[in-house]
Amino acid sequence: MVCRILAAAIGVASIAAAVVASAEPPAGAAACSGCHPASTRVTSPVPRLAGLDRAAIVRAMQDFRSGTRAGTVMDRIAKGFTEAEVQAIAAWYATQR
């Protein structure tokens, strides 16, 4: 009985994750794809955002915004997003694979 409930919960969670992963990106997320590669097959000094931890993306954006993390253009880009936009973009990228 417990195994069936656990299996059902895992199934529901998997379906929910798939729905979120296929959802349209939030405003501003499309701008990221200009530099950040979508494919794992691309070699780039710019990290791939898809699948990164949401908190790590938020922290990086906050660090770029405050100037504690150096970047060629990210400091200016990060300043263009509100905190709510950063949170939405980070949450969306964290669900992408």
* In the predicted structure, residue 9 carries a pLDDT above the cut 60: no
Q: Is the pTM of this model over 0.85?
A: no
Span 10-57, pLDDT tens digits: 543 444 444 345 589 999 999 999 999 988 888 899 999 999 999 999
Q: Coil, helix or strand for 40?
A: coil
Q: Which among 21, 19, 18, 17 has a CA at the least distance from the CA of 29?
A: 21
Question: What's the CA gap between 67 and 17, in Å, rounded?
Answer: 34
